[in-house]
């Protein structure tokens, strides 16, 4: 039976296991979406879950009385999209031909489809485990809803041009990168929701100009008017919550997070981020497939927390520190140094210019965060 706006109805995710009871919390919804294989249904269910959550029809982000089930190691995905290693991916080209523009459009749709899974995975994997405040769930539900809309409009545009999502092979780099950061929220935020999102901001203007130069003004306008401005807010969400985690006060509290000491090197990452030297060196030595593809484009916790006034006060204190200041104080410097250290361990750098400094600034990046 098809899911509707009534959260009380029976829901079946296409390609996923049948759910006998409707999801009750946002994390339950996230797990259902991650188990849905069809990308169109995945985006539709994500839009429904986000709408229900944002208007208050889903009362809790998670059930504090029970441990949330772990998310799948890999989200369910339809088999019709053939995945290849980056080294075997055909070149996208520069948009000079209709075939090249279709390949670029297909790659964008693929990235947005994976972004849906990434947004719901961060909710399901870390939200309850790290006892994040309600605003965290609000932000990433909105991000997930946007990503689903982006995939939907790009997929529709492919059909208008006589193709479809799945007609061409695609890479699996985004999820490979996600698995490297599956143990640590700080690392996930830094790599997936700051570096990759910001990298998208860097390449989008070039991509837009290539579609326009190739005579496809309709796709260029879609990217420029819908996707580009919303991607800035997605990057901002990553920056905001990375900073929040670094500036959580009161280290003795389970929701707290101390600013790490500034050191040239630390044996492990903050926030239970640990990695042995061999694993870290392997990540450093191997480029991420997402970076390779991008370089080609470049040439509340609801009622439960309401009963804990002290916890709410600490959350508000942490969120207040998320705001950008005019200068870089000691706390901000420690955040930036932590960001650099995590990125260098989990993303082969440095990133290559040009940087979209205007969009990055709008998303909350200090110039010192360019790595």
Per-residue pLDDT of the chain (371 residues; tens, 9 = 90+): 334 444 444 344 445 545 457 899 999 999 999 999 999 999 999 999 999 999 999 999 999 998 888 999 999 998 778 887 776 777 776 777 888 999 999 999 999 999 999 999 999 999 999 999 999 999 999 999 999 999 999 999 999 999 999 999 888 777 887 899 999 999 999 988 888 877 767 778 889 999 999 999 999 999 999 998 888 889 889 989 999 998 876 433 333 333 333 333 333 333 334 333 343 333 333 333 334 433 443 333 233 333 333 433 433 444 444 444 445 577 778 888 888 888 888 876 555 655 555 555 555 555 445 44
- DSSP-derived 3-state class of residue 139: helix
For residue 159, what are its two tokens? 């059909």
Is 35 within 8 Å of 116 (Cβ atoms)? no
Q: Is the whole model's pTM more than 0.85, yes or no?
A: no
- CA 140/CA 119 separation, integer angstroms: 6
Phi, psi of 65 (to 5 degrees): -85, -10
Radius of gyration of the chain (CA): 20
Is 211 within 8 Å of 220 (Cβ atoms)? yes
């Amino acid at each position: 039976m098809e899911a509707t706006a009534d959260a009380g109805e029976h829901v079946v995710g296409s390609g996923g296991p049948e759910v006998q009871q409707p999801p009750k919390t946002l994390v339950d919804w996230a797990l259902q979406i991650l188990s849905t294989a069809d990308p169109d249904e995945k985006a539709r269910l994500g839009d429904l879950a986000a709408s229900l959550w944002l208007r208050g029809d889903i009362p809790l982000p998670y059930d504090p009385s029970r441990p949330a089930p772990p998310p799948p190691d890999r989200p369910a995905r339809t088999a019709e999209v053939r995945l290849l290693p980056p080294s075997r991916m055909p070149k996208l080209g520069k948009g000079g031909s209709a075939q090249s523009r279709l390949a670029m459009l297909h790659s964008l749709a693929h990235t947005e489809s994976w972004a849906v899974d990434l947004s719901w995975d961060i909710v399901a994997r870390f939200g309850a485990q790290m006892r994040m405040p309600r605003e965290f769930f609000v932000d990433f539900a909105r991000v997930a809803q946007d990503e689903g809309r982006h995939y939907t409009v790009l997929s529709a545009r492919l059909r208008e041009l006589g193709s479809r999502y799945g007609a061409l092979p695609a890479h699996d780099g985004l999820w490979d990168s996600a698995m490297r950061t599956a143990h640590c929220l700080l690392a996930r935020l830094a790599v997936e929701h700051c570096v990759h999102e910001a990298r998208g901001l860097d390449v989008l203007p070039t991509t837009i100009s290539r579609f326009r130069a190739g005579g496809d003004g309709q796709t260029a306008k879609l990217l420029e008017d819908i996707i580009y401005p919303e991607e800035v807010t997605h990057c901002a969400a990553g920056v905001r919550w990375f900073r929040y985690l670094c500036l959580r006060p009161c280290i003795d509290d389970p929701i707290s997070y101390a600013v790490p000491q500034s050191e040239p090197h630390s044996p492990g990452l903050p926030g239970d981020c640990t990695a042995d030297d061999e694993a870290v060196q392997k990540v450093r030595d191997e480029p991420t497939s997402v970076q390779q593809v991008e370089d080609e484009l470049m040439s509340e916790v609801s009622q439960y927390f309401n009963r804990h006034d002290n916890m709410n006060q600490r959350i508000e204190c942490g969120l207040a520190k998320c705001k950008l200041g005019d200068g870089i104080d000691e706390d901000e410097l420690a955040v930036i140094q932590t960001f650099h250290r995590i990125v260098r361990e989990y993303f082969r750098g440095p990133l290559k210019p040009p940087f979209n400094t205007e969009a990055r600034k709008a998303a909350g990046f200090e110039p010192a965060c360019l790595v």
